[in-house]
Amino acid sequence: MTLSHLLRFLPAALLLLSPLRTDAATVRLLVAIGANVGDPDDAVLSFADDDAERVRQLFVELGEVRADRAYLVVNSPAAVVRQKLAEVAGRIAELRAAGDDAVLILYASAHAKGGVLHLAGSHLALSELRDSARQAGARLSVLLVDACESGTLARRKGGSAGPEFAVSLEQLPLHGQVIISSSGPGESSEEWDSLKGSLFTHHLLTGLRGDADAEGDGRVSLSEAYAYAYRRTVAGAAGPGQHPAYAWELSGTGELILTEPKVARSALIFPAQLSGRYVVASQPRPDVVAEVDKAPGRPLRLAVPPGRYLLRKRAGQSTGLLEVELPYGGERQVREEELTWRRYTEVALKGGYMELRNSALLGLARLESAPVRDTGTRLSAGLGYRHSWGPWWALGTVSFTQARYPAVELQVRERALGAGVAGGYRWLSWALVPHVGLGLELTGVEQRLRRDREEEIQDTVGEPLPTRRALGVGVGPLLGVEVPLPGQAFALLQGQVLLRYLPSQEQSALRPAALLSAGAGWRF
């Protein structure tokens, strides 16, 4: 074959060898903007930045937004917001050049007045935000605006709200732009201390976690989320009221799915027969994660991140409480008979944080350095009782050790009884719970000495060697980790360094010692 023939077939060969492009992918991007500080004469908000972070977390968790495509802009001026929007537009252009299309979700919570967001002493017109989202190049953009000012218990988050639009929520087109605002014409939105967030955003996030799933298919569409947030916001708003608004400029057909709670790593399962208002708060920081008005007859799967929660149900002057631990994910079914009932005033006075099982019994195995030099390590067994007050804890232990070892023409039988107290701090927000503390331990040691030819020596001398006894004390820091197990059980691994004082004839009375403990416990 000649060179000309090879050159003729080379393009076709390269085409066959090159990877084929699969169907275009839909890529989601999110920009969450939150600003507590507005103009100098605006009261500082408390939770706009937290709301923005919650929105980002939820869409990464349930909304098919990759973490590196979820942008958070908090307490930054308008210039930083514009820069971030320009960066996102560049990312969308790259995706389109690669044959993919993009869906952009843009959330903003801040002060507003006259159609202008107040961002850290600077201004950004809502119309500019809308146009930036539309011109970013995404096939579909969803703009969620929760513009706010401040107040006292129920903060007025108002400003100039856009018009309220009458819409049909039967079916949503998939090309263009959707705008949802937290309030209607002439209204203010509300920020609540009890929710540690905006009323509208709070209900929107609860709906997206699964409570808005009217069809029960494990997915929450834009129409379901809006209808749910509208209903709950209108029902819960104080004063003259708050009515979220909705608008679109769309073409095509289809339904936009915002989240898929069915794919969540962890969830709370509410059986069909349950009814009432349930509040799910994180622990140990009692942030409200979701607030559900459960109607009988329909089961509910509420997606929550892995972690520790306190479930509350109000009934008259009492509150039912249930501790839920999902540090690694999984599902937990809510059963009415498992609720622990307390007076509502007790729960309220403790600010939402309650530890229902703050006592624990522990069984421990300990490996410790020898109290007598050059006699090897000791393996001991121990029991403990721990009491906790939130992240703070105190522990009492008793331990028993028995050992045998040779000396110069002697055999030594040693027994030791220890009693210790310790206290410190736990980081309860972690899946594995680390803790630090300081411990004090008293140790009583008894040594029985037997000579190699004891019977012969006693026949000659007539007296055995006297038993030796000593009482020592040690103090030092400790470090450990607690591993939650199913139910109320947990495993514990802990290390401690002691400076121990133990009177002795053969060695210095003041020596360092080390202890390594492993065991299991049961909270009650």
Q: How many H-runs (helices) and E-runs (strands) does the chain carry? A: 8, 29
pLDDT recorded at residue 522: 94
Is the Cβ–Cβ distance between 440 and 448 less than 8 Å?
A: no
42 by Cβ neighbours in 10 Å (0-12 / 13-18 / 19+) ranks as buried
For tokens 């000791």, name the residue.
378
pLDDT recorded at residue 452: 77
Angle, helix 48-62 to helix 199-206, in steps of 10 degrees: 10
pLDDT recorded at residue 185: 67
Name the token pair of 66.
């990759």
The CA-based angle 493-494-498, given to 5 degrees, is 160
Distance from C-alpha of 465 to C-alpha of 459, rounded to nearest angstrom: 13
Helix spans in 98-198 (H): 126-135
pLDDT recorded at residue 254: 77
Side chain identity at residue 104, one-letter code? L
Distance from C-alpha of 186 to C-alpha of 406, rounded to nearest angstrom: 90
Helix spans in 136-289 (H): 199-206, 222-236
Name the token pair of 145.
């605006």
Q: How many CB atoms neighbour CB 61 within 10 A?
A: 22
Helix (H, G, I), strand (E, B) or coil at 73: strand
Distance from C-alpha of 239 to C-alpha of 258, rounded to nearest angstrom: 31
Residue 21 to residues 24, 158, 451, Cα–Cα distance (Å): 8, 49, 86
46 by Cβ neighbours in 10 Å (0-12 / 13-18 / 19+) ranks as middle
Question: Under CATH, which number does the domain 24-262 receive?
Answer: 3.40.50.1460
The CA-based angle 106-111-117, given to 5 degrees, is 55
Tens-binned pLDDT, residue by residue, of the chain (524 aa): 454 454 454 444 433 444 444 567 899 999 999 999 988 888 888 999 999 999 999 999 999 999 999 999 999 999 999 999 999 999 999 999 999 999 999 999 998 887 889 999 999 998 899 999 999 999 999 999 998 533 222 334 444 333 443 444 344 447 899 999 888 767 777 888 888 899 999 999 999 999 999 999 999 999 999 999 999 999 988 767 788 888 888 777 778 899 999 999 999 999 999 999 999 998 877 789 999 999 999 999 999 999 889 999 988 888 889 999 888 889 999 999 999 888 867 666 555 556 678 899 999 999 998 887 778 889 999 999 999 987 899 999 999 999 888 877 788 899 999 999 999 999 877 778 999 999 999 999 998 888 777 666 666 766 778 888 999 999 999 999 999 887 789 999 999 999 999 887 677 889 899 999 999 999 89
- Dihedral of alpha carbons 269, 272, 273, 275, sign: positive
Ordered by start, the domain boundaries in the chain are 24-262, 265-349, 359-523
Quick one: which H or E segment has residue 144?
strand 140-147
Tell which residue, 39, 217, 64, has the closest CA to residue 124.
Answer: 39
pLDDT recorded at residue 457: 67
Distance from C-alpha of 477 to C-alpha of 45, rounded to nearest angstrom: 42
494 by Cβ neighbours in 10 Å (0-12 / 13-18 / 19+) ranks as buried
Is the Cβ–Cβ distance between 222 and 172 less than 8 Å?
A: yes
Residues in the chain, how many?
524
Tell which residue, 399, 368, 396, 369, has the closest CA to residue 381.
Answer: 399
- Dihedral of alpha carbons 475, 477, 481, 482, sign: positive
Helix (H, G, I), strand (E, B) or coil at 71: strand
Q: What is the pTM of this model?
A: 0.76
What is the side-by-side strand order in the sheet with 190-192?
154-156, 190-192, 197-198
Fold of 265-349: Immunoglobulin-like (2.60.40)
CATH number (1.20.810.10, 2.40.160.20, 1.20.120.80, 3.40.50.1820) of 359-523 reads 2.40.160.20
Is the Cβ–Cβ distance between 127 and 91 less than 8 Å?
A: no
